Amino acid sequence: MEKKKQFQMPHTYIIIFGVILLAALLTVFVPLGRYETKEITYMMNGEEKSRTVLDPESFQYVLDENGNKVTKIAPLFGTEDFGGQGILNYVFEGMTVGDKNGTAVGIIAFILVVGGAFGIVLRTGAVESGIMRVIQMTGGKEILLIPVLILSVYAQFKVSSTFRLYSRAANRRGVTGEQAANAVLRANGVTGVGVRPCGGSLTDHYDPRTNTIYLSQPVYQAGTVAAVGVAAHEAGHAVQYAAGYGPVRLRSAIIPVTQFGSKFAFIALLLGMILYIQPLFAVGIILFAVTAVFQLVTLPVEFNASARALEAIDSGFLLDADERKGAKRVLTAAALTYVAALLMSLLQLLRYVMVFAGRNERRR
């Protein structure tokens, strides 16, 4: 009886070429569009600095003389009006663009060096031995997930309840979230950062692409203890970017990889487990690990932003001493959610690694 052929993952080059063909096919249907950029200036420690950012409200489709949306089909070989890139030379152009300090060349060199070093380590068997040791130490201890789950639920409840509590407590100086954010920026010598309202609750954030702090409605014009704490925290992020704070620069650098990993990690893990394709399962683990690294880097960024916020609140006399305690409780509760998320990701990662190693052991 003839054995059925098992499914094998296509070669990497075939997958890449397939992606290129898909992207080329999409150019038939997806119309051209563009964003405008703008130059922003800000002051940092008495020195004027500038940065080019996208204007989020400037997107528009490219229209022809009749007002119809324009599509431009990707050519086989690149032409000048298509940036020199085509279906058959995308890979080459993508590999040679940039310089040694950034973009494609720098990334490719980094991957080659790290990949080679990792390959040497794998050859020694140290990684496999370490994984098996972890399995022996943690076998039957899946119950450890329960306290982390409880912590995660508690953290979400704590941040919501603490924010609601101090959103009802008006601060004695009547400082609004908008005023608090601007006060933190002034205290650190940072100018040129916009402060705007946004919809929702607990949706406050700083967008480095537009150099803008977005504050939710319960924070922007509210003169409460919670509003001052949250707004000062988001302004702390703007100060981090202006000052070139190391961890925030690292987090920004790995955002593209993290976004890719968060989108495709679960797909790779699911398909790898169901179809029993160990290489695909390993790819899923690596992508999931990238998101865990991002969460790990996020911790010092968030703690530092809160520290900057509380320091500015003190130096600017934005809150009284008892009100400052309330603002600190709000920020501490928010930080707890990041800790819980990291612990959950690390335990999930450990679980996937154990499953992967166990399947390899059964195949021997």
Same domain, 93 and 241: no
Environment class of residue 163 by beta-carbon count within 10 Å: exposed (0-12), middle (13-18) or buried (19+)?
Answer: buried
Structure tokens at 228: 């001052």
Q: Establish how many alpha carbons lie within 13 A of residue 73's alpha carbon, considering only the half-sphere containing its beta carbon.
A: 4
Domain count for the chain, please give it.
Answer: 2
Length of the chain, please?
Answer: 364
Residue 306: what pLDDT? Answer: 93
Q: pTM here?
A: 0.60
Rg, Å, the chain Cα set: 25
| Domain final position from 59, 94, 115 | 115
pLDDT digits (tens, 9 = 90+) for 316-357: 999 999 999 999 999 999 888 888 888 888 888 887 887 777
| Domain final position from 53, 84, 115 | 115
Same domain, 103 and 202: no
Same domain, 209 and 75: no
Distance of alpha carbon 331 from the chain centroid: 20
Residue 357: what pLDDT? Answer: 76
Q: What distance in Å separates the CA atoms of residue 207 and residue 238, rounded to the nearest whole number?
A: 8
For residue 217, give its domain range. Answer: 158-363
Structure tokens at 168: 């009802």
Same domain, 192 and 330: yes
**Strand pairing class (212-216; 205-207):** antiparallel
Q: Establish how many alpha carbons lie within 13 A of residue 311's alpha carbon, considering only the half-sphere containing its beta carbon.
A: 13
Active site residue 47: no
Same domain, 99 and 191: no
Same domain, 297 and 162: yes
Asked whether residue 308 is domain-assigned, the answer is yes
pLDDT digits (tens, 9 = 90+) for 106-128: 666 666 776 677 677 667 776 66
Q: Which residues of the chain are under the pLDDT cut of 70? A: 1-7, 42-49, 78-85, 91, 94-111, 114-115, 118, 121-122, 126-145, 359-364
Residue 320: what pLDDT? Answer: 92
Instruction: Given the residues 36, 39, 57, 234, select the one marked as catalytic.
Output: 234
Same domain, 107 and 184: no
Same domain, 171 and 304: yes
| Domain final position from 98, 115, 132 | 115
Residue 313: what pLDDT? Answer: 92
